[in-house]
Structure 1
Amino acid sequence: MFKPGDIVQSKTGGPRMRVLSVEDSRLYCARIDDPVEKEIEISVDSVSFYREEGNFGVC
């Protein structure tokens, strides 16, 4: 389902994260705003694909 490069977010909210690698039911991610890309281990079940809400750019 998820692959390296995907942008995800915790189902409860929080910062956007880039998937670095996938191993079974675990994702290894880094926050988008982290220039060091510190790796965070997360369960696949606790995140979903990041999606912008609303009408951005519409005047």
Structure 2
Amino acid sequence: MFKPGDMVQAKKGGPKMKVLDVLADEVICTPSNHLSDEKITLKASDVALYKEEGDFGVC
């Protein structure tokens, strides 16, 4: 479903994130606007591919 390099966003809103790795049903991401090495692990079912169409995502 997702692969490293994909840009995603939590379905409930939040920042655009870059996928670093995919492990079974989890996605390891880093916020795209951060310069740190922060990593966030989310369930794959809780994120969607990021799209800049219409409302520019949920914030």
TM-score (normalised: structure 1):
0.86
Report percent identity of matched pairs.
Answer: 43
Which residue does the alignment assign to 2:31?
A: 31
Larger Rg: 1
Asked whether the 8 Å contact 1:31–1:37 carries over to 2, the reply is: no
Q: CA deviation at 1:46?
A: 0.2
Gaps of 5+ in 1: 55-59
After superposition, the CA RMSD in angstroms is 0.8
Question: After TM superposition, what 4+ stretches of structure 1 lie above 4 angstroms from structure 2?
Answer: none
Gaps of 5+ in 2: 55-59
Which residue does the alignment assign to 2:41?
A: 41
